[in-house]
Amino acid sequence: MLNEVTAKKVIDCALSLGADFADLFVERNRTLSVNLKSSKVDQITDGIDFGIGLRVLFGTKVLYGYTNSPAEDELIRVIRLLCAPDQRTATRTGPIAFRSEASSQRLPSPAAHGSDLEARIRLLRKIDELTRKQSREISQVSAHSLERHQEIELFNSHGLHATDLRLYTRIGSEAVATDGDQKDSAFYGPGASLGWEFAEGIDPAFIATEIARRAVTSLHAEPCPAGTMPVVIDHAFGGVIFHEACGHLLETTSVEKKASVFWDKKGEMIAHPAVSAVDDGTIAGAWGSLSIDDEGMPTERTQLIKNGRLENFMADYVGNLKTGHPRTGSARRQSYRFAPASRMRNTFIEPGPHRFEELIASIDRGLYARSMGGGSVKTGTGEFNFSVQEGYLIENGKISRPVKGATLIGTGPETLKRISMVADNFEIMAGMCGSVSGSIPASVGQPALKVDEILVGGAK
Amino acid sequence: MRKEIETTLDWAKKLGADESDVILNEGNALSLSAQQGRIETYKVTSSRLIGVRVIRDHRVGISYSEDLSADSLRSMVESALRLTQAVEPDENQSITLSGAPVIDTNPKTYREDSTPLEEKIKLTLHLEDEIKRRDPRTQAVPYNGYSEGESHSFYGNHLGLRVYEREKSFNCYTSALLKDGEKQALFYRSSNGRTFSELSPENAIQETLKFTGTLLEAKPLPTGKYDVIFEPDCFQALFSCFTGLFSAKAVKDGYSRFGNSMGEAIAHPELTLRDLPRYELGFHHTLTDAEGVMKTDLTLIERGKLVSLYHNSSTARHFGVKTTGHASRSPKGQLGTALTQLVMDPGTTPSDRLASGTVLRIFALDGLHAGVNTSSGAFSLAASGELLQDGVLVQGVKGITLSGNFFELIRNISGVGQTLIPTTGRGFFAPEIRFTGLQVAGH
């Protein structure tokens, strides 16, 4: 996408102005989305984003710019603009000899080019049709497919030249249930770092059953009681608790500013011994997996917590410079518009020894959070919140009535110590994670967990 | 007008589109942040994006490109036309507006500013330094910085209508992470302006420290029901989650219950809500909507009764009414609807009566992207604030959730204040409103 000669001249220019490091992130991104609403194909959008992100470091000071033009004079103009406030006598000089360190072996999937729109529409129509058949209370269904075909090319002043091709496919569906003037809704959105073949493996009947059941159950659920109680958080997207309560606090993006309650806790017990947690970019086809990260480093499996002890942080190049924690192939960004930052990939708590039923049976009165919505965290204090999309009361060791409107709040350090039982029913699920370097695909996962005590917000 | 608009419209006509319109957005931005007394990040960006909407046989196709070369513009149009073959006809969507060019040079949204870079760097460093200097409990200032940006938006359609609008904005923000023993608290505040000199960094610093200080000493409340007054930014954040319910598109698509409520009382009789695109004190002055329709004032709720939805031309055709000039569309997206500047009428309740008895004043809500269900109206959010007794502080409050239902919230009001208060971003103006009986979960 950008020839080596131009890349070399641009990086040489940065070094000649006194920069300690420079890199270029070239991105061409094709996105195809198909939306179906009210049983009609509502919209199809197809487009191409192209741009180049230019990063220059003076010490640990990050200068970042981007442009849509690959022309040499434009790239040098941006570099000169970025370096102007810090320009100094060069400490490093070119010329750089690029070497290809890493590149994806993945081949483009013909399906990723949207050559068969009918296949997309057929799948969405099937989801729509099957969802409406689930209940007369289903009043609206929307379904969409999103495919992203991201080509990247990286050059840096250490001589790295890397390329990668990333395919993303996600199928999202929402059902609205209505009873009189009462409405409720539910969403389900599996995704993978694969081409359209991922969608071909999806069972539309499962999606239809899932979103219809959740929407109708929630429509008739009573408000959740408020107060402190034990909670069983089910597997798969339940992992958002770890993502929010702990994962963000283990990114060097927070650690380098001491804006994480865990910044100085490496080697210490920060969780119940039942808890072991991982951030893994290597799981084949998983939504948050990568071949190389957005700085060109091969991705890896990072053990974050082992039996309650903090083992590692997630670090990018700048995070490593600032904190000394080793790089983990975790540099990620939404697009060329963002400088990379240490971010999660597929983050999960590892399976434990218990059966799900044992967790439920251990509680006299509590909440079973069967499916979770999103959440957020203040990394500096560890305070998090996340919503329960589908919840049930637990009474006398059994799952009883459905409840709605529940929110769980707490702090990461406290909650991690209160996870007392971990089940064996592990699963991961696709989501989108928003932070300093934009919105990126990230999986969360876990087996079912029992948290002994957590504050549940509800309207009753 | 930009030649890329004309080239794209020409291609759309030549390649068989019945109707077409084009949006071209261009922008430049600068942002700075500081850590440990030094500039940590310095970001300079420029961007451009063009998007075309074509209609052929009542079928709509949309495509976009960041490459503005002639070849790319042609291939963008071809792609949009190809997509029309796969979508269902939409009889309501049509591009019909013609007229003289509209050039918006309103100085309220765009003013030249020649502040040197050194001043901006100085401000950024000041935002961190002052927090640390004024409160020795500061462990870090994790979020602080300065940003500015300008954008230029061009619109053209096959009937010859051309619109140009531009805006320039400036922003600064700071935060404080305070630590005292085992207690920690984090809060941040920002300031917006149309010029550098309009920024109020001192206000951002003072409010950051005031609220963080309160949170540091805060603790949960007993679980129960409380009367609540939201600080303006919080009220806007919560209220804005539900303003989509007043969109005719949401009603048409079955996501809003307000379709059958026209003329009915949906809120407390003292509540009047208007969208005022050219409200004098507002930040977001806008001349036209995304279809080039001139924006005008619109009342949504009049003394508690729902009196209008907001429309684009497509929803207006569907419901057999005139568009209210609330079309929204980005170069990448489909035709939607959006509000501009919401203003609530002042009420009649004196401030001492609003504050009488026990009141929970909320100044931070977290989890709005997840803890709100726009279909059912339910919300359950992490909250922080102050508990007041007859206006006197009893305790800072954190570690609670605040739960309720929007449809009940706007009915269960015991007082509406007499003075309009702007949000930090000056996009929402409301008096203080005392909401009764919201559920708090605490200890």
Q: Which of B88, B382, B404 sits opposite A409 (nearest CB)?
A: B382
Q: Please return the burial class of B60, using the count of CB atoms within 10 Å of its CB with bins 0-12, 13-18 and 19+.
A: buried
What does the alpha-carbon distance between residue A114 and residue A110 come to, in Å, rounded to a whole number?
8
B82-133 tens-digit pLDDT: 999 999 999 999 999 998 888 888 888 999 999 999 999 999 999 999 999 9
A259 pLDDT above the threshold of 90: no
A85 pLDDT above the threshold of 90: no
pLDDT of A105: 46
Q: Does B48 touch chain A (CB under 8 A)?
A: yes
Q: Which of B66, B401, B441 sits opposite A48 (nearest CB)?
A: B66
A343-382 tens-digit pLDDT: 999 999 999 999 999 999 999 999 999 988 878 888 778 8
Q: Does B69 touch chain A (CB under 8 A)?
A: no
What does the alpha-carbon distance between residue A374 and residue A407 come to, in Å, rounded to a whole number?
10
pLDDT of A112: 44
CATH code given to domain B3-214:
3.30.2290.10
Cα B94 to chain centroid, rounded: 27
pLDDT of B110: 93
Hey, where are the domains in chain B?
A: 3-214, 218-443
Q: Any bridge partners for residue A156, and if so which?
A: A23
pLDDT of A110: 42
A18-61 tens-digit pLDDT: 999 999 999 999 999 999 999 999 889 888 899 999 999 999 99
Task: Give the tokens for residue A266.
Answer: 């490496």
What does the alpha-carbon distance between residue B265 and residue A97 come to, in Å, rounded to a whole number?
73
Q: Which of A41, A43, A78 sits opposite B62 (nearest CB)?
A: A43
A118-177 tens-digit pLDDT: 999 999 999 999 999 999 999 999 999 999 999 999 999 999 999 999 999 999 999 999
**Higher per-residue pLDDT: B443 or A267:** A267
3-state DSSP assignment of residue B20: strand
A91 pLDDT above the threshold of 60: yes
Q: Does B119 touch chain A (CB under 8 A)?
A: no
A103 pLDDT above the threshold of 60: no
CB of B201 closer than 8 Å to CB of B126 = yes
CA dist A391 to A366, A395, B422, Å? 10, 13, 38
Contact call for B62 and A406, based on CB within 8 A: no
Q: Does B96 touch chain A (CB under 8 A)?
A: no
User: How would DSSP label each residue in A21-44?
Assistant: EEEEEEEEEEEEEEEEETTEEEEE
Distance from CA of B199 to the nearest CA of A (A): 23
Using a CB-CB cut-off of 8 Å, the residues of chain B touching A321 are none
Closest CA to A243 of A422, A454, A429: A429
Task: Give the tokens for residue A134.
Answer: 């689930």
User: How would DSSP label each residue in B324-357?
Assistant: -S-EE--TTS--EE----EEEPP-SB-HHHHTSS
Distance from CA of B102 to the nearest CA of A (A): 28
B53 → chain A, closest CA residue: A45
Q: Does B437 touch chain A (CB under 8 A)?
A: no
Q: Which superfamily does A4-220 belong to?
A: PmbA/TldD superfamily (3.30.2290.10)
| Band of residue A258 on the pLDDT scale cut at 50, 70, 90 | confident
Cα B220 to chain centroid, rounded: 30
The pLDDT of B299-320, averaged and rounded, is 97
A111 pLDDT above the threshold of 80: no
The pLDDT of A270-288, averaged and rounded, is 94
Hey, where are the domains in chain A?
A: 4-220, 223-457
